[in-house]
Structure 1
Amino acid sequence: MYHRKRRTMGTPRSPAGRWSTGAAVLAIGSLAGALTGVAPAQARAFGLDPSFGTAGTAGTDFTGFIDEGLALLMQNDKPVVAGSAGRLVDGVGVTDFGLTRYTADGDLDPGFGSGGKVTTDFFGSSDDAYAVAGQPDGSVVAAGRAFTDDTGDADFALARYRRDGTLDPAFGSGGKVSTDFGGTSDTAKAMVRQPDGKIVVAGNTQNYPVSDDIALARYRADGTLDTSFGSGGRVVTRFGGNSSAAALVLQADGKLVVAGETSADGIDFALARYHRDGTLDTGFGGDGMVVTDFGGADRASALLVDRLGRILAVGGSGSPLSSAVALARYRGDGSLDRTFGTDGLVTTEMDNAVGVAVVAQGTKLLVGAAGGAFTLARYHRDGTLDRGFGTDGVLATYFGSSSTQLAALALDRRGRVVAAGTTATDPYYWGDFFVARYR
């Protein structure tokens, strides 16, 4: 199914239902030239939480090199940030899986790793963690990619950590797993844990010079591939052109939905839905796949499913002259939900917006983007901006660094908003992990 439209905010209508309270979807975003005004009443009601870290924020450096916070997990109100921890090897920069855990007060948690920090190397080259998920026993799984050598070949990579940050030897080989799809480079960008304990990751496999395709893999609790899923535990989906997945969500019925982008005809939102066995669900879009065009370079980077089974995809839409946060809501059959925004689509213009992060607050959607200023926009469930939030629905926070890149939003158990990403520490944009909490 292909949706080719360019829309802006529409007239409110009257949808039913609520977003699942506490559900969270993560994505990347950047914003420059954000609104600076904050309505006085809103400034008192919502802002950085001074009881967290230093004036509501905390940053972490690993070795003095480039570090990137790329994913966020709330673990009993303790933020766990995963990403890339940089280091120099013979004058060459490489990265490892990097994880930090903070206390509920924003201090590094001494009970995790070495002073709250953990790094993991796979093959001696660079490794990057793009997703993190918790397990009922308190262990943490990180997923991303591991370069197998210096030629640019990479595989899906997962690592599982005990509560104290040590690798779990019951998972894979010494706590680590890598999966090759046979292409030149494979990268996992999103992950979910099923109720049966199986782990599903999604991303892309690069088959240079043919195409990049969406790729999924499912693992048993011990890290072995689940051969009842796809072909030997792997699934590859080709939209045409280059495509990749950046978000993954598990529906209540056990079906999996991925979202990302495809360049089959321009760059557009790409969604696919799968049955439990990894086959495409033809009840979604007719062939299991949906493409939506906002009129620019459109990249979906987050997903949310509400209690009525409607799917919200969020990301960015850009052109040489402008950029915007983009939201699309779909019915269960993959058609656009025309009770949302204008014909199912919403765009909010923001300079250099390449994506968003979003959490559901009851019937409200809180969307964030950051780059120099971290900006939150709040929407009603019909896609209209909540004008009672910030200034006309938008609230900006400046952190004083040259660049702040948002990777994730989440809610803690008290409903406070936690944001994670990367903050630049010098003019060369060498970064540190960054986390902020709002109340």
Structure 2
Amino acid sequence: MKLRLLAACTFAFSALASANGNLDPSYGPQADGRVIVPFDLGSPPTEQAVDALIDSDNRTYIVGQVKTADGLFQTGMTRLLPNGHIDQSFGVGGRSVTTSSWSKSPAGAAFASNGYILVAARRDFGDDAYFSVCNHSPETGTTVLFEGNNVACVFINPIVNGNDFVQDILVQPDGKIVLVGYSRNLAQKYIGTVVRLNSNGTVDNTFSGDGIAFIDLGDATLPHAVAWTTQNGGSILLCGSVRAPGVLQTDMLAARLRSDNGALDTSFSLDGWAAYTFDAEQNSEICNAMAVRKSDGVFFIAGQTTVGGVSKGAIKAVSPGGSPMANFAGGGLIIDGSGHFIINDVKLRADGSPVVLGTRADDETDLHVVAMTTAGVLQASFGTSGQRSIDFGLPGEAEQAAAMVLQNGRPVVVGHALTAPGQGYDFVAARLDTDVIFADGFIK
């Protein structure tokens, strides 16, 4: 009986210990839950992570921008083994960097339907900027030709002589590629912009006639997160920010496009889009990430608001029809604290509750994870009152969050950090030791 009781107590203690969001000591080359990946090519060397992917073998890909020796910015990529060590068989010494003669600013990554890696990036042409997407080998990181096409990169210029800023990428279940961002026309007006390509990189002319759909809401719109929903035969969800004419501040924006033709889906909030606020004051609010709960179609928009001049993480649950869910934190949660906090990514756990990753700035800047219940209450069993900061480098130096992926039920958080005196940013990743199981098969 004593042995049985001791075993039960040990199990309970172990479960509590693994549920608190500590760094996983079995992850990383220093057995401290963290890994730092320097490229050290430019002067000063600097890398900035923008996205992360995880494959069926539980290997993590970190994708971002790398400054090279010639002063250009290129797409950099590394692959981590399941234990957090750099995979030396990938690229050169576990790293891959593109070698084009022009700079690019990566914005997001996704697996193509054939397993290759698609990276969306802004490409500058003189005074103009284009959407671009390049096809990369998952084994070497180098660019390769699209299947059935003789190009490895595709460039799209939605507004000629304007500026087009790609922000995110989605691969639909049918393999079609969706690029989302915004364009600035000659009148300096920002317009939400969505481009859809076939799986081989050619323009999908069934989408809005020419493969390009604009979301023009009067003054400014900036969708930069995408998700897929099966509603109405398949729809594209977007989130970002919208500004009313003559107003300086922005509200969070969610919009839904019909997948068959790219038009705004008027079954969503009557007009196909809706704006969301967190308070009655004129504070700028921006959606940086979105996740869809598959069980009921409820989706979460997360990003930031401003309270007393301080940026705060903000998240809402929204019904499939576009109405805020009052049963989630009374319509929306502002994640408070003593310093600034901006949410960069949101994922859902198996019970449908959200976990967010962001950048927290108090006495120093760290990656920061916050877990909450389905009712929007911070989960006391995680970290300290539902929150956990992760430090990588120099005390007081800047660290920026990028993305979060799931590895066997454990969150791997990715970003970049200043990790040595006089150096630029390095890619970083950490794994939390937690027994909280996240929803599988989520779509970004």
TM-score past 0.5 threshold: yes
Partner residue, 1:341: 329
Structure 1 residue 99, shift from structure 2 partner? 1.4
Deviations 1:298-353 (A, max 9, x none): 110111111201121011112453221111111111111111111x2111124222
Task: Map 1:409-420 onto structure 2 (within 5 A).
Answer: 409-412=404-407, 414-420=408-414
Partner residue, 2:213: 235
Partner residue, 1:406: 401
| Conservation of the 8 A alpha-carbon contact between 1:297 and 1:319 | no
Task: Map 1:114-263 onto structure 2 (within 5 A).
Answer: 114-122=92-100, 124-149=101-126, 151=127, 153-164=128-139, 165-170=141-146, 173-183=150-160, 184-253=162-231, 254-263=234-243
Residue type at the aligned position of 2:416: T
Moved more, 96-105 or 108-117: 108-117
Q: Any gaps of 5 or more consecutive residues in structure 2?
A: 1-14, 434-444
Residue type at the aligned position of 1:177: V
Partner residue, 2:68: 87
Which of 16, 22, 28 is matched with 1:47 structurally? 22
SS at match of 1:107: coil
Structure 1 residue 61, shift from structure 2 partner? 2.2
Structure 1 residue 42, shift from structure 2 partner? 4.7
2: CA distance, partners of 1:239 / 1:424 = 39
Structure 1 residue 261, shift from structure 2 partner? 1.0
Moved more, 105-114 or 155-164: 105-114
Count of equivalent residues: 392
| Conservation of the 8 A alpha-carbon contact between 2:347 and 2:354 | yes
Distance 1:208 1:120, change over 3 A: farther
Structure 1 residue 48, shift from structure 2 partner? 1.3
2: CA distance, partners of 1:293 / 1:170 = 42
Partner residue, 2:35: 58
Partner residue, 2:419: 425
Residue type at the aligned position of 1:168: V
**For the pair shown, which has the larger CA radius of gyration, 1 or 2?**
2
Task: Map 1:272-287 onto structure 2 (within 5 A).
Answer: 272-276=255-259, 277-287=261-271
Structure 1 residue 44, shift from structure 2 partner? 7.0
Please report the RMSD computed on the Cα atoms of aligned residues, expressed in angstroms: 2.1
TM-score (norm 2): 0.83
Distance 1:210 1:166, change over 3 A: closer
2: CA distance, partners of 1:438 / 1:314 = 21
Alignment of 1:108 with 2:86, yes or no, is yes
Structure 1 residue 222, shift from structure 2 partner? 0.9
| Conservation of the 8 A alpha-carbon contact between 2:36 and 2:426 | yes
Deviations 1:187-235 (A, max 9, x none): 2211111121111111111214331111111111110010000131111
Alignment of 1:297 with 2:277, yes or no, is no
Distance 1:194 1:398, change over 3 A: same
| Conservation of the 8 A alpha-carbon contact between 1:121 and 1:127 | no
Structure 1 residue 173, shift from structure 2 partner? 4.6
| Conservation of the 8 A alpha-carbon contact between 2:109 and 2:169 | yes
SS at match of 1:354: strand
Partner residue, 1:32: none
| Conservation of the 8 A alpha-carbon contact between 1:167 and 1:174 | no
Moved more, 284-293 or 113-122: 113-122
Residue type at the aligned position of 1:411: L
Distance 1:438 1:168, change over 3 A: same
Structure 1 residue 103, shift from structure 2 partner? 1.3
Alignment of 1:368 with 2:348, yes or no, is no
Structure 1 residue 291, shift from structure 2 partner? 0.7
1: CA distance, partners of 2:340 / 2:218 = 27
Structure 1 residue 179, shift from structure 2 partner? 0.7
Structure 1 residue 392, shift from structure 2 partner? 1.8
Residue type at the aligned position of 2:359: A
TM-score (norm 1): 0.84
| Conservation of the 8 A alpha-carbon contact between 2:367 and 2:415 | no
Q: Any gaps of 5 or more consecutive residues in structure 1?
A: 1-39
SS at match of 2:367: strand
Moved more, 221-230 or 323-332: 323-332
Distance 1:99 1:83, change over 3 A: same
1: CA distance, partners of 2:313 / 2:267 = 28
